[in-house]
Structure 1
Amino acid sequence: MSDRPLCDNCNGTGRQLRTCFPCRGWGTLTNSYCDACEGEGKFWAPELKEWRECYTCSGTGRHATEVTCTDCHGDGNRIDMCISCWGSGVQSTTQSNAQ
C-alpha cells in the first residue's frame, strides 16, 4: 500500500455515495408515455374506419405511472467511483497540496 494518507472524501474506499441522476434521488421514475396508443392519444379503429380517442390515457398520449428506477433500484442513491482519488482510495497530490 502507498505511504500517502487515505482520501478524505471516500475514507479510502475509492467509492462515494451519490444521488442517483436519472431519478434525482426519488427512487422512482414517471412513465409518461402511454403504451396503449404509443403516445399518440388516439388509435385506428378498423371496424369504424376512423381514429378514436385512446381510452387508457383519455387522448392525452400520456399515462402517469411510477416505476422503480433501474439505476438505483429504488434507493435514490448510487455508489460511484470517488472522483477525488479516481477510485484509488489514497489522497492525491492535489488533495494534499490544497490542505
Structure 2
Amino acid sequence: MHPTLRTLGRRIQLTTKDTNKGYYKGNRTGSMGSHTKYGTYKIDYNKVRTYVVPDLEGFQLTPFVTRKLEISRGQYEGYRLGPLSGEHYLKMWKAENGDT
C-alpha cells in the first residue's frame, strides 16, 4: 500500500466536509475539566474562566437607551425621515439627553 501523492507533500487540514458523521472540530474554547472513566465530566476550577469587571463608578459613556423613554406605538406623524432613520434617532437622543 502506497500513500497518494497528495498526502506526501504536505499535511492536509481536516475539515468537517472531508469526513462523515461523528467528526466535531470544536471552536477553540479549550477544556474546563476532564472525562472520567465512568463517563462523567469533572470540572477543574483552575481551568474555569473568570472575568474581572472593572469599577464603572464615574464612567462617562452611556448606553443608547434613555431612561426618559415613553412607549408610543404606531405614532409616526412628523417624522420627515421615517420612524427608523438613524439621523432622526440621534437628533432625538441629543434633545432628550443633552451632549453628555
TM over 0.5: no
**Structure exhibiting the larger radius of gyration computed from Cα positions:** 2
TM-score normalized by the length of structure 1: 0.19
TM-score normalized by the length of structure 2: 0.19
Higher relative contact order (CA 8 A, sep 6+): 1
